[in-house]
Structure 1
């Protein structure tokens, strides 16, 4: 069984202070995909680089205290690469990929546009670059059989069942028609699979992975499902279970773990 966990940590040091490391040790994941690590290489302590049972690989934003992605791996990868060949967003540390013999796992942190129109336009530019990058991987899958699992915070809720207050967010970043249509194209036209929805097509409140820090969003479960495993069809068909961990809060996101009947 292959276990992959994804979590936007909203600051890796903060998440570790809140107990992330012992939880990770208890989960025995094979790969942990991290987003929004908010740390530079010089500030990574040994416990962050090498928590028990894992080796860590990170891709940092140029801007301090901002963005960044990482991977914890129980089994060393044959190769680790970063970025998608776009300087504007590679400088923000948004993509890291690990390759094994017949499988690649990606940790991706897509931009948020919630701070204003400037960042929303940047988000659209990112999507314009990200779609061809995804298409290249899908073509590789069809040509060679290499499977891909792209985990992370995509900052898009796809359908009305993916957030509590969908009517009130129709004009807000993360649930805009253009963003949702883009994700529909990735899934329906390109052929990628939303693995959680494949396993749980109708789940609503239990599917949420992010809650605003405003008001009583967590207490009232006014959440969004914006964290995903998006996979090529072969490995997606091997998914057997999905879990969203909410007993402890390491971040404003919850860890999403999916088990695949698959060997690396």
Structure 2
């Protein structure tokens, strides 16, 4: 079974077998693959087969729908977006999803997100075997505000802060949309889990050289303030930080250049943010960093969190998919 539109697809792979369902826990991985075709050439399928998470959220597919491919043992839901070679998100599940929503099939309601709706940045899946909605986000990378830009100090020519303003528009609008979606899931009897590459490091524990990073996109005061605003005891919990405590790392991104990877000089920009009920069920959180630069699958590494959670109760509902 395969259903396809210009932007979104649900692909059914191998039939689900009973031994694929763990009754008392499930694992969720989020991974910016920086191009699924390139990641597969580097060994992504070996990692997927070996690690075998129950749910896998992918960002930056960077290919047309016809070239996403199949993932044996998984049902793939994806939105590749409308910009050739850019963006694209997917969620892989071992059981067929109960519902799938993209910003193409379910346009965002918050003013300010319309310009991003066809770009392949957001995908929501209601799990069929757990009372959980998993939302996969690839948040736009921004730029510096105009007052921090100077010729010769940037990789790209100064733009007067246009990319910075674009990201801030997205952040403001997405915060409202996120509240709606989180509350909608809770009304349906589901926990809500936002995962993906948020292109923001929240605290100084999340960046190796945090003092220098204070004037860099992704660690600007306004970025960090926004990140803090979507967290809270009644909102979302950064499950990795709660699990790891106030200590450096774990990092999820390292530059391709130089010895950053070998020296573990990088950022934590890949996140799993859960509603409090699900956050209390975290059993383990790890980053699958490769052993050597030659083995890297992407400039990011997979973040894998294991949750203890009961199977789907009979009263749980789902929004139309």
Task: State the TM-score, normalized to the length of structure 2.
Answer: 0.77
Q: Does 1:42 align with 2:69?
A: no
Q: Tell me the equivalent position of 1:95.
A: 122
Q: Distance in 1 between matches of 2:263 and 2:278?
A: 35
More displaced stretch, 112-121 vs 22-31 = 112-121
Structure 2 residue aligned with 1:184: 228
1:260 equivalent to 2:304? Answer no
Shift, 1:259, TM fit: 0.4
> Given that residues 234 and 276 in structure 2 are in contact (C-alpha distance below 8 angstroms), is that contact kept between their aligned partners in structure 1?
no
Instruction: Report how far residue 189 of structure 1 moved.
Output: 7.4
Matched, 1:214 2:257: yes
One of 130, 141, 153 as aligned partner of 2:197:
153
Q: 1:61 aligns with which of 81, 89, 111?
A: 81
Alignment counterpart, residue 128 of structure 1, candidates 138, 158, 172: 172
Query: Alpha-carbon deviations, 1:158-177, whole Å to 9, x = none?
Result: 00111011111111100000
Instruction: Quote the residue 2:139 is aligned against.
Output: 110
Q: Counterparts of 1:156 and 1:71 in 2: how far apart (Å)?
A: 21
Cα drift, residue 133 of structure 1: 1.1
Which residue of structure 1 aligns with residue 47 of structure 2? 23
What is the root-mean-square deviation in Å for CA atoms of aligned residues? 1.6
Moved >3 Å (runs of 4+): 141-145
Is the partner of 1:223 in helix, strand or coil? coil
* 2:33 equivalent among 9, 12, 29: 9
| 8 Å contact from structure 2 (residues 233, 276) kept in 1 | no
**Unpaired stretches in structure 1, ≥5 consecutive residues:** none
DSSP 3-state at the match of 2:136: strand
What's the CA shift for 1:140? 2.8
Give the helix-richer structure, 1 or 2: 1
Distance 2:228 2:279 in 1: 17
TM-score of the pair, normalised by structure 1:
0.93
Using the TM superposition, give the Cα deviation of residue 145 of structure 1 relative to its aligned residue in structure 2, in angstroms.
3.2
**Maintained 8 Å contact 1:138/1:190:** no
Distance 1:144 1:72 in 2: 22
